[in-house]
Amino acid sequence: MTSAWLDENWQSPRLVRECHDGCGCDPEVCLNRGSHKQDREAIEVFLTKDRGWGVQARRRILRGECVGEYVGERLSQRVAEMREYLYDRFGLTYSFGLEATSERAEEEDETEFEWENPTNVTLDGTFVSNHTRFFNHSCDPNIIVVHVSDGDRDHRGIRYSFYTVRDVKKGEELTFDYQLEGAYPDDSGNYECRCGSANCRKTMLNLRNLPKQ
């Protein structure tokens, strides 16, 4: 991931189209396969002092490196809503809805486009996942979620990959901003933030998009 792209998009990630096996390019030298070039040895899961499990750097990780892809069960919207209703009762937050915004849609000033919420599929990492389910929340994150497409037009290849937005020191925890949606202001106590950053907003909720009561 280039620094120029991160400078423009890190606060509102867009869809990134990467090369794939049908491109004909050489995977060994292609620069457009960032999410396929992860160094799993660069990170490790560890037990934090007050936030359960987390993920930290085993070496210095440079800005723009991919540090994982979120995986999980692919659920329909109906099943996902049923599970999330139960998960909310236990404070579980391991679900991701597949959504993306295309550059073309923004350029053409379209409110709806084929890349917008393409499949209504949710990835549930509660039971089947990898180290990315242990990325904790922070109001001052050092990684972001990037929507990655391998070029298929039916969007089944859209994935969630995590990239660093700045250099990360060895031993530093990797975190991203959850910006949780759908809760009400009175529920904020259930989503308390403990990141301890100077700009901590005291909640994992996205305060700008809270529904009105």
Catalytic residue positions, numbered: 70, 178
Per the CB < 8 A criterion, the answer to whether 164 and 67 are in contact is yes
Q: How open is the CA angle 37-42-48, to the nearest 5 degrees?
A: 130
Q: In what order do the strands lie in the sheet with 95-97?
A: 73-76, 121-124, 95-97
For residue 127, give every residue at least 6 positions away whose Cβ sits within 8 Å of its Cβ, in sequence order, or none. 72, 73
- E runs forming strands in the chain: 15-17, 43-47, 53-57, 66-70, 73-76, 95-97, 121-124, 136-137, 143-149, 159-164, 175-176
Q: How many CB atoms lie within 10 A of CB 209?
A: 10
Reading the block at residue 69, the tokens are 């892809």
Cβ–Cβ < 8 Å for 113, 105: yes
Q: Which of 118, 116, 137, 109 is nearest to 52 (CA)?
A: 137
- CA geometry: angle 2, 46, 56, nearest 5 deg: 20
